Amino acid sequence: MNIKIVHLYPDLLNLYGDRGNIQCMVMRCRWRGIDAQVKEYRLGDRVDFSDADIVLLGGGSDREQQIVCTKLQSIRSDFSAYVEDGGTVIAVCGGYQLLGHYYDTPDGRMEGLSLVDLYTQQGSPRLISNVILKNEEFPYEIVGFENHGGRTFIGDNKPFGTVAFGFGNNGEDGKEGVMYKNVIGTYLHGPLLPKNPHVCDRLIGTALERRFGSSQLEPLDDEDEKRANRYIVERFVKEEKQASDR
Ligand code: GLN
């Protein structure tokens, strides 16, 4: 069995360890005897979605997003067909914002891919925090770190999680990220997947299901990762409680 992981514009969208997300997916496949190959596409390249199983769109500063967003328009229809066909996507922070219709900043509007019905507006101050999310579709909490000026609004779409600690999409509605078909968009980095092996396995699972019609994943020994996750959850939930008791 083998899968192809597509990394879009790693030279520009690479804030906060997006390569760590790639490494995590590759290793969790290999440890199970699944061969995972990584294909990186740079700005001038023609992106081929036909043999892609997981697409990663990483985080970037506003300046880098602006460069990428122009290019994204030329791959929009192929990318959209991939998503509508159940293709797996993980988009982090700047990449998450670009999944939507637009990202408005004081310098103007960046047109997004409109793959998911959401939009983003820049606000002040930046939302910077550790984050803990709850989502019953996952066996335990999702943890990470956020740092964004954009406020994202996802309408009736399903969030990636509800915020137990941190700001989330916009600091107002208690939602973080988005889930649409097999797309996950999120502000969480850290990087996301090594901190959350259950999220990594979900991406691998949906990719295998689409390609081979089966997503049975052999369990791996995640005791260290689970202990680290637990530590973060207990630490920040306790801090929140102490702050509200004060
Ligand atoms: N430039 C975007 C923002 O500040 C995304 C930042 C990021 O990817 N960390 O909202």
CATH code of residue 92: 3.40.50.880
Centre of ligand 1 from the C-alpha of residue 97, in Å: 8
Total domains in the chain come to: 1
- Which residues does ligand 1 sit against, CB inside 6 Å? 15, 59-62, 65, 93-94, 147-150
Nearest Cα to Cα of residue 25 among 184, 241, 187: 184
Type of residue numbered 82:
Y
Type of residue numbered 195:
K
Domain ranges, residue 235: 2-245
Torsional sign, CA 189, 192, 196, 199: positive
Residue 96 φ/ψ, nearest 5 degrees: -60, -45
Cα distances (angstroms) measured from residue 78 to each of 49, 144, 175, 237, 243: 7, 31, 29, 42, 48
Site to probe by mutation for ligand 1, drawn from 16, 65, 152 as the one with most ligand atoms within 8 Å of Cβ, is: 65
Question: Known catalytic residue: 101?
Answer: no
Contact at 8 Å (CB) between 188 and 132? no
The predicted structure's pLDDT at residue 71: 85
Centre of ligand 1 from the C-alpha of residue 1, in Å: 36
Residue nearest to atom 2 of ligand 1 (CA): 94
> Which residues of 53-160 form beta strands (DSSP E)?
54-57, 88-92, 102-105, 108-111, 119-134, 142-153
Q: How high is the mean pLDDT in each 10-residue block of the chain (246 residues)?
A: 95 85 97 96 91 94 89 92 98 96 95 97 97 97 96 98 97 98 95 96 97 91 96 88 81
The predicted structure's pLDDT at residue 167: 98
Centre of ligand 1 from the C-alpha of residue 149, in Å: 6
The predicted structure's pLDDT at residue 224: 96
